[in-house]
Amino acid sequence: MKNIKDYNLEELKQELVDLGEKPFRAEQIFKWLYQEKVKTFDEMTNISLELREKLKQNYTMCNFNILKKQVSKDGTIKYLFDVLDGNAIETVLMSYHHGYSICVSSQIGCKMGCKFCASTGINFIRNLTSGEIVEQILAVEQDENLRISNVVFMGIGEPLDNYDNVINTIHILNNQKGLSIGARHISISTSGLVPKIYKLAEENIPCTLSISLHATTNEKRSKMMPVNDAYPIEELIQSCKDYIAKTNRRISFEYALAKDNNDNLEDAKGLVKLLKGMLCHVNLIPINKIENGAYTKSSNEHIMKFRDYLNDNGIVATIRRELGSDIDAACGQLRRKNLKQ
Ligand code: SAH
């Protein structure tokens, strides 16, 4: 059966027309789903019983079950959701002074194989649908009774490898008759799928693009991120320059610092050289060691020195606050969990 949350408003109007209904019904349904956040068609009380029956026969609501919920001492919450097909994914809720942010997964598993990431080494299963990405937000909002203001595509998966569903998710989230989360409050993080970066630049969606850079030479980056063999640094940076020129939007470069690997002065110099003059910001992440991982966290002193060098040399850099590390919810710690395991 089709998932009613997979459709943006225009598509849902067409679905309703195909069912022999008036398109405005789609707006009513959208309101029920995303403003009232109901979990059943029966709660949609301004819709006739007959149409409710039709909807039940044609669509599911895709309400995720919470398999596990872990609360960190800093307030971060990690959810393990049953995505209703025998698989499970993780989603993280973070609280900031400006509101609540959610880190959503975009795929069940990941194909990218980054050596430092916990989502690696587990088989890729499938893309999540738009409705399954949207449902992560709804399920958390329902569970905690709050409103999420920021969405980051930094959970399990490579969002640009699930391009169409991620773009459609953004259209669903943006809609003012629904969740009304503006594109400016949405970040897409990519390991660097260059052709998709060019494509995203054409979308006219003012979301934030984050690039997981992590190294400044191809030799080093390829060791950490096999995707670099397909799209080396020069091509990646060129696509970023094109993105900035087309959108006039600042790019955020993610740089996870690993001890004795990419955290010394030479690396900082390389980063300055690479990014000089670009409309960008560098987000330094203390790397989180994963089980059997080769990379360990740099010392705080190294991280601060690295940041200061960048800032002193014209590159705006900040250190990302680590949230949820005690519940394995910090950057790169999310993994696909199979219910059958
Ligand atoms: N596939 C996307 C989004 C998921 S990862 C991407 O690669 O960008 C979200 C961010 O966490 C990325 O910047 C990623 O490189 C980083 N990350 C992954 N594992 C990490 C780890 N162990 N420690 C710190 N950051 C990590």
Helix 24-34, helix 9-18: angle, nearest 10: 130
Domains and CATH numbers, the chain: 2-60 (1.10.150.530), 65-340 (3.20.20.70)
Report, as an integer, the average pLDDT of 87-98: 93
Q: Answer yes or no: is the C-beta of 213 below 6 A from any ligand 1 atom.
A: no
Contact 93, 140 (CB under 8 A): yes
Q: Establish whether 301 is a catalytic residue.
A: no
pLDDT of residue 331: 84
Q: Answer yes or no: is the C-beta of 332 below 6 A from any ligand 1 atom.
A: yes
pLDDT of residue 182: 97
pLDDT of residue 98: 86
Report, as an integer, the average pLDDT of 18-29: 97
Residue nearest to atom 20 of ligand 1 (CA): 332
233-241's contacts with Cβ under 8 Å and 24+ in sequence apart are 233/274, 235/194, 236/192, 236/194, 236/197, 236/211, 237/274, 239/194, 239/197, 239/198, 240/197, 240/209, 240/211, 240/278, 240/280, 241/278
Tell me the C-alpha distance between 337 and 86, whole Å: 10
Does residue 339 or residue 301 have the better pLDDT? 301
pLDDT of residue 341: 47
pLDDT of residue 291: 84
Tell me the C-alpha distance between 217 and 195, whole Å: 20
Q: Tell me which amino acid residue 88 is.
A: A
Tell me the C-alpha distance between 247 and 209, whole Å: 11
Q: Answer yes or no: is the C-beta of 12 below 6 A from any ligand 1 atom.
A: no
What region does 126 belong to: left with phi over 0, alpha with psi -120 to 50, or beta? beta
Does residue 45 or residue 328 have the better pLDDT? 45
Q: Establish whether 50 is a catalytic residue.
A: no
Tell which one of 103, 117, 223 to mutate to probe ligand 1, the residue whose CB is within 8 A of the most ligand atoms. 117
pLDDT of residue 267: 97
The yes-or-no verdict on residue 29 having pLDDT over 60 is yes
Report, as an integer, the average pLDDT of 261-281: 97
pLDDT digits (tens, 9 = 90+) for 191-233: 999 999 999 999 999 999 999 999 999 999 999 999 999 999 9
Instruction: Give the DSSP letter of residue 258.
Output: B
- Closest atom of ligand 1 relative to the 211 alpha carbon: 8
pLDDT of residue 332: 81
Tell me the C-alpha distance between 340 and 207, whole Å: 36
pLDDT of residue 89: 95
- Give the tokens for residue 59: 């669509």
332: CA distance to ligand 1 center in Å? Answer: 5
Report, as an integer, the average pLDDT of 319-327: 88
Tell which one of 115, 200, 285 to mutate to probe ligand 1, the residue whose CB is within 8 A of the most ligand atoms. 285
Contacts of 143 (CB under 8 A, 6+ apart): 66, 69, 79
Tell me the C-alpha distance between 154 and 259, whole Å: 23
331: CA distance to ligand 1 center in Å? Answer: 6
The yes-or-no verdict on residue 338 having pLDDT over 80 is no
Report, as an integer, the average pLDDT of 84-110: 95
Q: Which of 54-58, 84-88, 136-140, 182-186 has the lowest mean pLDDT?
A: 84-88
Catalytic residue selected from 15, 90, 158, 254: 90
Q: Answer yes or no: is the C-beta of 331 below 6 A from any ligand 1 atom.
A: yes
Contact 332, 115 (CB under 8 A): no
pLDDT digits (tens, 9 = 90+) for 106-162: 999 999 999 999 988 778 999 999 999 999 999 999 999 999 999 999 999 999 999
Residues in the chain: 341
pLDDT of residue 316: 97
pLDDT of residue 173: 98
pLDDT of residue 70: 96
Q: Answer yes or no: is the C-beta of 117 below 6 A from any ligand 1 atom.
A: yes
Report, as an integer, the average pLDDT of 304-309: 98
